[in-house]
Amino acid sequence: MNFFNIINQLSEVDPDVMGRLDTRRSVFNSLTTVSKRAALASAPAFLAAFFSKAYAGTTAGDPKEVFNYALTLEYLEEDFYKKVVASPIFATVSADDQAAIRQILKHETAHVNLLKTVITTIGGTPTAPVTFKATTFATLTSFQAQLQVAQLLEDTGVRAYKGRAGDLLGIPDVNITGVGMVNPLQAALQIHSVEARHAAHIRYMRGQTPWISGDGDLDGQEHYKGAIPESNTTQSGVDITKLGGGYTAKDAQASFDEILTKAEVLAPSRAGGLVG
């Protein structure tokens, strides 16, 4: 069995194979001799594990379900900002703050419209709109209180998109009338990056750092926890604080965002508890 011949054959059907396998080189780096590497590479069990890891997460999921999940979050955010703009408090804040919130609302509405169009184009039915819980919003009696919730919503949204991106790998492009060919994963990532900009700007408006370092006034909330919490300092099995160069736990936390699963996002302690 020629391991490298297998690589060459696989590259004919997957031009990105070397990119997928590049992060697996650490497996070989831990082996000190050519003979050990050759012996291990000839073992079927090793090959199976090696390729399953290289292609982990690349199986396409149901794009209609993924996009309806994203649409639910966008509905929630859009309705929240509509409530902020319509509240009496909004008229009392600065022109810059008003402009920022209005712009974010425009973005959320655009996201809702795009997702509905994509879902319809790929043969799905857009889920019914959800609203931000009115009784919860009534307790937000200051603009700062509203911004606190905005931060939690936006940071949760960023982690939510990241958590489902892998489910869109391998989904073919779709032809949207008036738009052209659109790749579902690309569309999701374009929204994800804007949600991250929203999160950073809201945090800036609140006097917080744009990144999550564990010392923010809300960083102890459930929105920053989960199976892989934002306090995580290990990436790809490497403890960032042990790389040298004086990286602290706060540095490591701020350098990487973590995912939230669908169940975690929709839990009552997070976005699920804000749906009216």
CB neighbourhood size of 54 (10 A): 18
- Give pTM, 2 decimals: 0.76
154 CB contacts (<8 Å, ≥6 apart)?
A: 77, 195, 198, 199, 202
The DSSP call for residue 142 is: S
CATH code of the region 63-230+260-274? 1.20.1260.10
- Cα-based distances in Å from 246 to 7, 155, 158, 251: 39, 27, 28, 9
CA–CA dist 117, 165 (Å, integer): 19
Task: Encode the chain (276 residues) as per-residue pLDDT tens digits.
Answer: 444 454 444 444 444 444 444 444 444 344 444 444 444 444 444 444 444 344 344 444 688 899 999 999 999 999 999 999 999 999 999 999 999 999 999 999 999 999 999 899 888 999 999 999 999 999 999 999 999 999 999 999 999 999 988 888 888 888 877 778 888 888 899 999 999 999 999 999 999 999 998 888 998 899 999 999 999 999 888 999 998 788 899 998 899 999 999 999 999 999 999 999
Q: How many CA atoms lie within 13 A of 96 on its CB side?
A: 4
Long-range contacts of 213-222 (CB under 8 A, 24+ apart): 213/250, 213/251, 213/253, 213/254, 214/249, 214/250, 214/253, 215/250, 218/148, 218/151, 218/152, 221/152, 222/267, 222/269, 222/270
Nearest alpha carbon to residue 240 among 251, 231, 229:
251
- Cα-based distances in Å from 175 to 60, 68, 118, 168, 172: 18, 18, 9, 16, 10
Q: How far is CA 222 from the centre of its chain?
A: 16
What are the residue ranges spanned by the domains of the chain? 3-54, 63-230+260-274
